[in-house]
Amino acid sequence: MADHGAEGSFDQNDAKAELITPPAVHTINLMGALYLTITGLFFYLLIATWPVLDGPAFKSFHIFFSRHSWEPDKQMLFTVMVAGALGSLTHTMTSFGDYVGNRQLSTNWLWFMILRVPIGMTLAVLFYFIVRGGLLLPTLSAPPAGGSAPTNSTLQLNPYGMAAFAALAGMFSKQATDKLAAVFDAVFAMTKPVERDNPLNAKDAELKVAPAKLTQGKLEELTVTGSGFQTETKATVNGKDRAFKKSSATEGKITLLEEDVRGVGELAIVVVNPNKDVFRTTIKVVAA
């Protein structure tokens, strides 16, 4: 029993070491400097291009010593994008600082942190479209030509409200994505799914396993070959969960229990990836 406990502890340490690969110090410093630079740039763009009403249009502005005068719709959209980027940077830099401070930053997450900025900008723009389209809030309509208010409905928007909405969408991207899914479900609600002749199901393929057969009463570790294996990949033997350890994207190991080789017969081996790809095979347990 002591040997099994030591082996289990070793496996857990191996799995943790495999999941966390600390980046080099210069990589961390480079990312920190990059975050500070990008944040300063976006703050500058937000302040420089902030929509300020000036009669029937927004005031012109300067970007790096160059004067610009955009259409109201274009300027408001740019403000939303910059606010979304700042919101995502707030979340990303907080996570980055926490992980670096706790020495838990892994190279696996570097691209996630980099892509958070364009993801936040995209979500902010999508939410702006939804708000302006009237799916969440009533759409503004232009007043008659003789009215005192501006004829362009964008000029009637509160830029502070739009920027706040965009920043929150960028900061809480998961909640924002869930809200977009709820809006989509409400707009495209269906009482009954459409049945298709050729549905796009996940892959169901044959699993290769070694050894090709087992001996009754002899406990062995199965080496399986498939594709797309991940840390979260699951394995079952005759419908019962078994430990699966990923060796590579195409190879993994399944730990059997004594009950699996207690009697003569066949074992149904099933491996399921997180993307629902399923690999199946059977293996015989022969008498000793």
- For range 34-41, the mean pLDDT: 93
**CB 264 within 8 Å of CB 287:** yes
Residue 7 binned pLDDT confidence (cut-offs 50, 70, 90): very low
Q: In one letter, which amino acid is 268?
A: A
| Domain match, 148 and 281 both | no
| Domain match, 112 and 237 both | no
Tokens of 145: 């030509």
| Domain match, 101 and 183 both | yes
Q: Is residue 177 part of a domain?
A: yes
* Cβ neighbours, 10 Å, residue 272: 17
| Domain match, 254 and 157 both | no
- Domains in the chain, number: 2
Q: Is residue 199 part of a domain?
A: no
Q: Is the pLDDT of residue 104 over 60?
A: yes
* pLDDT tens figures, 156-186: 888 898 899 889 888 888 787 777 777 777 7
Residue 242 binned pLDDT confidence (cut-offs 50, 70, 90): very high
- Residue 110's domain spans which residues? 20-187
Residue 135 binned pLDDT confidence (cut-offs 50, 70, 90): low
Residue 66 three-state SS: strand
Confidence (pLDDT) at 79: 93
Q: Is the pLDDT of residue 15 over 70?
A: no
Confidence (pLDDT) at 105: 84
* pLDDT tens figures, 249-258: 899 999 999 8
The average confidence (pLDDT) of the chain is 81
Residue 104 three-state SS: coil
| Domain match, 148 and 244 both | no
Residue 100 burial class via C-beta count within 10 angstroms: exposed 0-12, middle 13-18, buried 19 and up: middle
| Domain match, 70 and 169 both | yes
Q: Is the pLDDT of residue 231 over 90?
A: no
Residue 263 DSSP label: S
Q: Is the pLDDT of residue 146 over 90?
A: no
208 vs 174 pLDDT, higher one: 208
Question: Which domain CATH number covers 215?
Answer: 2.60.40.10
Q: Is residue 12 part of a domain?
A: no
Edge-first strand listing for the sheet containing 251-255: 208-210, 221-225, 251-255, 244-246
- Which residues are registered as beta bridge partners of 67? 62
| Domain match, 178 and 280 both | no
Q: Is residue 279 part of a domain?
A: yes
- Domain final position from 187, 221, 252: 187
Q: Is residue 10 part of a domain?
A: no
Residue 109 binned pLDDT confidence (cut-offs 50, 70, 90): confident
pTM above 0.75, yes or no: no
Q: Is the pLDDT of residue 88 over 60?
A: yes
| Domain match, 69 and 181 both | yes
- For range 135-151, the mean pLDDT: 53
Q: Is residue 195 part of a domain?
A: no
Residue 136 sits at φ, ψ, to 5 deg, of -105, -35
Confidence (pLDDT) at 102: 85
| Domain match, 151 and 233 both | no
Alpha-carbon gap, residue 266 to 230, rounded angstroms: 26
Residue 140 binned pLDDT confidence (cut-offs 50, 70, 90): low
| Domain match, 178 and 225 both | no
| Domain match, 183 and 280 both | no
Name 8's Cβ contacts closer than 8 Å, sequence gap at least 6: none
- For range 29-45, the mean pLDDT: 93
Name 213's Cβ contacts closer than 8 Å, sequence gap at least 6: 283, 284, 285, 286
| Domain match, 174 and 222 both | no
Q: Which of 72, 76, 74, 85 is nearest to 43 (CA)?
A: 85
Q: Is the pLDDT of residue 276 over 80?
A: yes
Q: Is residue 193 part of a domain?
A: no
- For range 103-115, the mean pLDDT: 84
Residue 255 sits at φ, ψ, to 5 deg, of -90, 120
- Domain final position from 156, 187, 218: 187
Q: Is the peptide bond before 199 cis (omega within 30 degrees of 0)?
A: no
- Domain final position from 187, 221, 236: 187
